[in-house]
A and B are shown apart, each in its own frame.
Chain A
Amino acid sequence: MRRLTAIAATVVATLLLTAGPAFACGGLIGPNGAVNLLRTTTLAAYHDGVEHYITAFQFAGGGGQFGSIVPLPGIPTKVERGGDWTLQRLVRETDPPVPAAFLSAGATRDAAQVILQVRIDALDITVLKGGGDEVGAWAKDHGFRLPPDAPEVLDFYANRSPIFLAAVFDADAARARGQSIGDGTPVHITIPTANPWVPLRILALGKTAGEKVEADVYLLNDRQPALLPDPNANGLTLQVSEPASASLLRDLRSDKGMGWIPQHAWLSKIRIDGDASALRFDLAIDASGRGQPSLRDAGLAPFGPMRPPVPWVGWVLLLAAVGIGLPVVGGAYLARVATRRTPPPAGA
């Protein structure tokens, strides 16, 4: 089994990224066998209504092709090679003695309407729009075999956002480029969206119930984000939640394509270490300061558009019903009683 690592890092404000290191293990099984990921690292940063998703695909040797599928919260405006420094700098910030921070990126892909295609080093990246069936058909047409949980997982995402990023790693091209095992290719995805979220369930794709999912997700937001589900339960651990240091932001800003990093940001690091069978949700982020991360974005609500809860409406209607209905009913009752008690007119 090969391992793909994804390292993601990035900056600024609120983040929502759906594109987890999509390299989620085993997203796709290629002609040469299954792809297994070790630990994946991703940076999901949200600032000025734009989500910056940065991750890395690691060359794990071998030949042929393997890929990953990353669900996205919206259509990206740009997919480009990320800076070489960002993810490593984030890891160094939160885990100083860490030797080499690589996260495994699985390989996957999907298909449907092709929105964008770009080649980054030995990676062929395709942004697709379509439902689970279309994505599955695309994968099949491109020689990949999806694992048995793929139909349900793809529908899980497509019902919320039918945008997927497929990254196919050409191991032969990587070798020809002189890439060594362990070399990662960082990818920076820019996604305008009002609702950032980080795809976590995709990390369990292709894994059996007892297998472990390990990943690190960094968030960079303008302010401390509210997260759903609880980042300290269900296999998640919120290891870092603090204002990002000036030196970190300065270093990140100096990397390629990272000039958007703000002067101030809140840094969060969430470690994922749990059974694949338990990872049936995503990470919803409310970076607005309202403290109401979306159940739907977390994959915890039924499919379909979710209506924002407006609890006061129910109370207003109830009070109105009582306020109007009670006098009307009471008045009618009193009138009836009064009528009964009224003596018949004389001579009647």
Chain B
Amino acid sequence: MPTVSRRAVAVLLGAMLVALLSGCGASPMRIQIVIHYSHYDPSRLTVPHGVPVTFVIVNTDPIDHEWIVGDAGLQQRHRTGTEPVHNARPTEITIPALTTRETTITFDKPGLLQYICHLPKHEDYGMVGWLTVT
């Protein structure tokens, strides 16, 4: 029976590990955010920059909501915006009542962002979350 050296086994295992890790890296990180009673859960998240992140946003409420992520300037623009529905940009999502939406974003640099629902009175009611990009 042929024998296999310990070194060969170590190399083989190492190769398998590398293949496994690189395979994991191919699919985006997935993060679920649940909207319940007009609040985000979780309301604080940390993600790395430079890699795709898929946000799965579950709206359990019988009313529509938004998930708009960005810096203070973007949020300010949306406070006076007039777009009734957001679908064109991955960072601006409308989630109809009792539905789930997914969006994949790659943040290009570290920073502190917010995600907010800008439907009337929703932000005042507490539909605000914080996203730290490391």
Contacts and interface: CB of A to CB of B under 8 A. Distances in A.
Do most interface residues of chain B lie in helix, strand or loop, or is the interface mixed?
loop
Interface in B55-107: 61-64, 97-98
Interface in B10-59: 36-38
B97 A148 contact: no
B120 A145 contact: yes
A154 interface: yes
A151 B120 CA distance: 15
A128 to B, nearest CB: 13
A140 B99 CA distance: 14
A52 to B, nearest CB: 31
Contacts of A283: none
Contacts of B122: 148
Contact of A29 (B36, B38, B120): B120
Contacts of A120: none
A255 B98 CA distance: 46
Nearest to A134: B62
A63 interface: no
Contact of A208 (B61, B98, B124): B124
Nearest to B122: A148
Contacts of A64: none
A136 B63 contact: yes
B121 interface: yes
A145 B63 contact: yes
B66 to A, nearest CB: 11
Interface string B119-134: 1111011010000000
A146 B97 CA distance: 11
Contacts of B61: 136, 151
Contacts of B97: 133, 136-137, 140
Contacts of B37: 149, 151-152, 155
A149 B38 contact: yes
B38 A132 contact: no
A34 interface: yes
B37 to A, nearest CB: 4
B124 A133 contact: no
Given A29-B120, A149-B38, A137 B62 contact: yes
Contacts of A184: none
Contacts of B64: 140, 145
A282 B120 CA distance: 26
A25 interface: no
B63 A140 contact: yes
A146 B121 contact: no
A34 B97 CA distance: 20
A53 to B, nearest CB: 25
Nearest to A140: B97
A150 B120 CA distance: 13
B127 to A, nearest CB: 7
A134 B61 CA distance: 10
Nearest to B36: A151
Given A148-B127, A151-B37, A208 B62 contact: no
B132 to A, nearest CB: 25
B63 A146 contact: yes
Contacts of A145: 63-64, 119-120
A110 to B, nearest CB: 9
A154 B37 CA distance: 10
A137 B64 CA distance: 10
A195 B127 CA distance: 36
Interface in A112-161: 132-137, 140, 145-152, 154-155
A154 B62 contact: yes
Contacts of A136: 61-63, 97
Contacts of A137: 62, 97-98
A132 B127 CA distance: 19
B38 A152 contact: yes
10 contacts: A29-B120, A136-B63, A145-B63, A147-B121, A148-B127, A149-B125, A150-B62, A151-B36, A151-B61, A208-B121
Interface of A: 29, 34, 132-137, 140, 145-152, 154-155, 206, 208
